[in-house]
Amino acid sequence: MTSPHSTASAPISPARRLAPSYYAATSALFLAASSAPTPLYRLYQQAFAFSPVLLTVIFAVYAFSLLAALLIVGSISDHLGRRPVIFASILLNMVAIALFLMARGPDWLIAARIVQGFATGTAVSSIGAALVDLDPIKGSITNSLAPLVGMAIGALATGFLVQFAPAPTLLVYIVTLVLLILQAVLLWLVPETTNRRAGLVASLKPKVAVPEQARRTLLALTPINIAVWALAGFYLSLVPSLVSTTTGSTAPLVGGSVVAALTISGAAAVFLLRKKSATTIMRFGIPTMTLGILTVIAGMHAAEVSILAAGTLIAGSGFGAAFLGTVRSIMPLAKPDERAGLLSAFYIQSYLAFSLPAILAGFLSRALGFAEAADIYAAAILLLVGWGVLALRTDREKPLSVW
């Protein structure tokens, strides 16, 4: 969508030129803030004495809250404007950061993650729309890359601060709060990209509908998509504790680096494969993710961080490619007025896969130990991948079938 504030012949103002960079940085900051607690989970466990199960619940409520925001207020910026909604999201994220700073137990962490999830879901939908308003092609690519880069920055920066700076559970949030204040001020220097329109109340009703022509493709790709997001959820909830337990490394930067490796390699894959067809992307993503998971398990049992990291880079490349390939396969099948409903269904599937298996992994970790839980979790992901490959191979009639 082209901004209503410009025409083809009008010169581009400096503020409008800088707007894509601002929105990309803001999207990255929200996702960086969301992954910042990951390297801290082990410290919180020690300080508040809670189980791996509660740890994964603290992680999962974020995903549930984010999903609720996407479904309920995901299109609210179409009616109120992008900037007011993004500003409200920034303020809400500040509240979440304040809750983290005041945390005195796991209940505080759960409350902070719920608020943070809703703020992030509201922000990414509005920021994503603004980026597409400014440039539909580049905006779509930025929407895929900025969250992955942001999660990597959050995990790495937190790991660094925890290991080398004082007050590990405070400093990262103070830095984040300062950056959010800066983003809130700069927001009013970039132009609005859409006009307000009626229909606000109706837009708050979640619309979940899979168009008939997209159902078979989505069904065939469902096992792959669940495997992709289950892998991401496991990394962002339990992997730092897993690294510490299986390798003996207690350095927070190591756990943060392993998590960052997944999202950095995923972002690289999205960028490098962005012009390829869905078929090519999926044929790269599925075997690459499989090889990466097997390498991660080998590194875990060998207690070698280097092998674990290499496997994560491989798995991350497959993760990014499979995610891109899935979206590239299903979204063109929907008509313009059907895309919101299809995207909502895809979000529900993805975020449930992101959160529920991680909670199950928490139970397994408590009952069996981290290494055994990781073995079972990896086996389940590989079974899902195999199921997905079979589903795609038996679905040859669809023009977008990837096998």
Q: How many whole angstroms separate alpha carbon 392 and alpha carbon 387?
A: 9
Tokens (6 digits) for 337: 């007025």
190 phi/psi in degrees, rounded to 5: -100, 150
* Residue 294 burial (10 A CB sphere; 0-12, 13-18, 19+): middle
CA 195 to CA 209: how far, in whole Å?
Answer: 27
Do 207-403 and 11-205 fall under one CATH topology?
A: yes
- Distance of alpha carbon 155 from alpha carbon 168, whole angstroms: 13
User: Alpha-carbon Rg of the chain, whole angstroms?
Assistant: 21
Among residues of the chain, what percentage have pLDDT more than 90?
39
In the predicted structure, residue 65 carries a pLDDT above the cut 90: yes
Contact by Cβ (8 Å): 66, 125? no
Whether the per-residue pLDDT at 37 is higher than 70: the answer is: yes
CB 378 within 8 A of CB 230: no
Tens digits of residue pLDDT in 80-105: 888 999 999 999 999 999 999 999 99
Please compute the mean of the pLDDT values over residues 199-204 and round it to a whole number.
Answer: 78
Tell me if the domain spanning 11-205 has CATH number 1.20.910.10.
Answer: no
Q: What is the pLDDT of residue 285?
A: 95
List all residues 6 or more positions away from 346 whose beta carbon is below 8 Å from its beta carbon.
218, 225, 327, 330
- pLDDT, position 11: 64
| pLDDT score recorded for residue 383 | 96
CATH class of 207-403: mainly alpha
Q: What are the domain boundaries of the chain? A: 11-205, 207-403
Task: Tell me the average pLDDT across 282-308.
Answer: 92
Nearest CA to 279 out of 313, 249, 322 is that of 322
Task: Give tens-digit pLDDT for 360-400.
Answer: 988 888 888 888 989 999 999 999 999 999 988 876 555 44
Which pTM was predicted? 0.82
In this structure, what token pair is assigned to residue 93?
């994220």
